[in-house]
Amino acid sequence: MMFRTRFAPSPTGPLHLGHAYSAILAHDMARDAGGEFLLRIDDLDQSRARPHWEEQIYADLSWLGLTWDGPVRRQSDHFADYETALQTLRNSGLTFECQCTRRDIEAAANAPQEGAPIFGPDGRIYPGTCRNLALPPTAATCTRLDIARAAEAAGPFAFTETGARHAGAHNVSAQELATTVGDVVLSRRQMAASYHLSVVIDDSATQITHVIRGADLFEATRIHVLLQALLGLPTPTYHHHDLIRDDAGKRLAKRDDARAIAKYRSDGAAPQDIRRLVGH
Ligand code: GLU
């Protein structure tokens, strides 16, 4: 199968050095493998996505000398696909509707067992309040995956990681998912789908063979692999790269405009300077 990867920024702010690192790495790995590099615009959160940030993404990547194959995929064009997948999962009986507010969840999780993790890759571990209430879906509920039952149903599964920090095969157990991830949200009020559900659908629809992205998403990968198993989708190979940090060792955030590629450009930097700065 041809190597195919993607870069999937959200148009909610300027691309900074961390994005440049990720995009260049994915692009170069695809070109070295004689494969394809796709660009996806992760504009799932329509309340934060802005057309001018999307334009800036194209301009910055082109300036960096990166070329992408085929049409750009925009998540906002695929809300119906996410809804179909959500419906499939609902029909499987492995989801439930949840009416808890953030405050409800915090209150219920107030007395965690000693040593139990409180936060997982999907935020605070859901305490299970609505799991067995069989609430109907309404505008005020979100849909969650009953992760222990879902992982049991999907059977044992694994994924391969090629990033240096976690390289190797990773087996995922239902027990571990239940205690360290919890019942993840699949769709939220006012959002077509959660990040987890949308990227799984997108990567499969675009036949991505290698997901190359920052190490901050390594822990969430177990959720993605579970969703792939439940939806009968192939699992790509994953490659999580270390994050670019600022001089103080802090991870670069989108709002860190000082590291925006556009800023380096306007200060007269050349694309090779960016490659050198991020260590490519
Ligand atoms: N859109 C996500 C982000 O900007 C990346 C999603 C992914 O690579 O799976 O963090």
Domain ranges of the chain: 1-76+245-280, 78-236
Do 1-76+245-280 and 78-236 come out as alike in CATH topology?
A: yes
Higher-pLDDT residue of 65 and 116 is: 65
Q: Indicate the angle between helix axes 221-231 and 147-154, nearest 10 degrees.
A: 60
Would you say the CB of residue 227 lies under 6 angstroms from ligand 1?
Answer: no
Task: Compute, in angstroms, the gap from residue 8 CA to the centroid of ligand 1.
Answer: 5
Question: Are 228 and 235 spatial neighbours (Cβ–Cβ below 8 Å)?
Answer: yes
Atom of ligand 1 nearest to the CA of 199: 9
* 3-class DSSP assignment, residue 55: helix
- In this structure, are strands 168-172 and 185-187 parallel, antiparallel, or unpaired? unpaired
Which residue in this structure is represented by tokens 């999780």? 109
Residues near 220 by beta carbon (within 8 Å), at least 6 away in sequence: 121, 122, 196
Query: Which of the 8 DSSP states describes residue 61?
Result: H
Here the tokens at position 5 are 């990867």
Atom of ligand 1 nearest to the CA of 6: 8
Distance between CA atoms of 223 and 215, rounded to whole angstroms? 15
- Report pLDDT for 116: 66
Percentage of residues of the chain with pLDDT beyond 70 = 95
Q: Considering the entire predicted model, what is its pTM? A: 0.94
- How do residues 21-41 score in pLDDT, each as one tens digit? 999 999 999 999 999 999 999
- Report pLDDT for 113: 60
Here the tokens at position 61 are 């990547």
Whose C-alpha lies nearest to ligand 1, atom 4?
Answer: 9
CB-count burial class (<10 Å; 0-12, 13-18, 19+) for 209:
middle
User: What is the CB-side half-sphere exposure of residue 127 using CA atoms within 13 A?
Assistant: 16
CATH code for the domain defined by 78-236: 3.40.50.620
Question: Are 206 and 44 spatial neighbours (Cβ–Cβ below 8 Å)?
Answer: no
CATH of 1-76+245-280 given 1.10.3860.10, 3.40.50.720, 3.40.50.150, 3.40.50.620: 3.40.50.620
- How do residues 140-156 score in pLDDT, each as one tens digit? 999 999 999 999 999 88
Distance between CA atoms of 185 and 195, rounded to whole angstroms? 9
Whose C-alpha lies nearest to ligand 1, atom 6?
Answer: 8
Residues near 74 by beta carbon (within 8 Å), at least 6 away in sequence: 40, 41, 43
Task: Compute, in angstroms, the gap from residue 74 CA to the centroid of ligand 1.
Answer: 13
